Amino acid sequence: MNGLVLGATGLCGGAFLRQAQEAPQFAKVFAILRRELPSPAANKVVAVVEKDISQWPALISEEMHPQVLFTALATTRAAAGGLDKQYKIDHDLNMQLARAAKDRGCDTIVLVSSAGAHVDSRFGYMKMKGEIERDIIALNFKHTIILRPGPLLGKRTNSKQNGFGGNLAAALGARVYRSRLQSWLGYPVYGDDVGKAGVHLALNPSEKDKVQFVSSKDILDITSSLGKNNA
């Protein structure tokens, strides 16, 4: 089985890559990136570096043939230079890559979305995330797993990638992580929690639910059941 990770230099994408490369079920794990990975990866990891993101869909080849697509591909309004430019990456590029992967035989997609995602949201970010979910589901993969983390915790390489809620939510979230107060802040999770839950669900897909929505609390419950968190 081959896996493909998008957004592998980010918080959740990096966690997908680490978890997938450790899973014996994957023979190879591909990652499409604009720059080299920040740290050495396992021999089974194949990094495909291309600065021109418009070329990325064509890189998903017959040879790559991913059975599982993990996508944490996303940017922020600040990093992109506006919501319209953010949409072109978060929505449009994700859709192009997901279609290309499905055309190459991919049957499972794991998408990092967000708590509060909804197509009718009054907030531009949440509306965008809801539209990504809707359109990914419409591609009709055999298994669609949508992760909806709350405040994301963990060290980021770029201060502009702090995302919705920013530094304040992360700082408060770290204080209540896995505490009795965690529900007050929407069950904060580390990137490693997201990666561990996503890879586990991809390798153990539901037999009855073609589309799975996985809340932040679900992510914490899954990682607790798998053993001590590595974050």
pTM of this structure? 0.91
Listed residue (97, 104, 111, 102) closest to 139, CA to CA: 102
Segment 104-111 mean pLDDT: 97
- Taking the CA atoms of the chain, what radius of gyration do you get in angstroms? 16
**Tens digits of residue pLDDT in 134-183:** 999 999 999 999 999 999 998 766 544 454 455 666 777 788 888 888 88
Q: Which secondary structure element, helix H or strand E, spans residue 112, and what is its range?
A: strand 108-112
pLDDT, residue 39, reads 78
Q: Which has the higher per-residue pLDDT, 38 or 231? A: 38
Q: Which has the higher per-residue pLDDT, 111 or 177? A: 111
**Tens digits of residue pLDDT in 14-51:** 999 999 999 999 999 999 999 988 877 778 999 999 99
Q: Which residues of 51-85 are buried (b: 16+ CB within 10 A; e: fewer)?
A: eebeebbeebeeebbbbbbbbbbbbbbebbeeeee
pLDDT, residue 164, reads 46
| SS3 label, residue 120 | coil
**Any idea what DSSP says for residue 211?**
E
Q: Are 119 and 135 in contact (CB under 8 A)?
A: no
pLDDT, residue 168, reads 67
3-state helix, strand, coil in the chain (%, to 5): 45, 15, 40
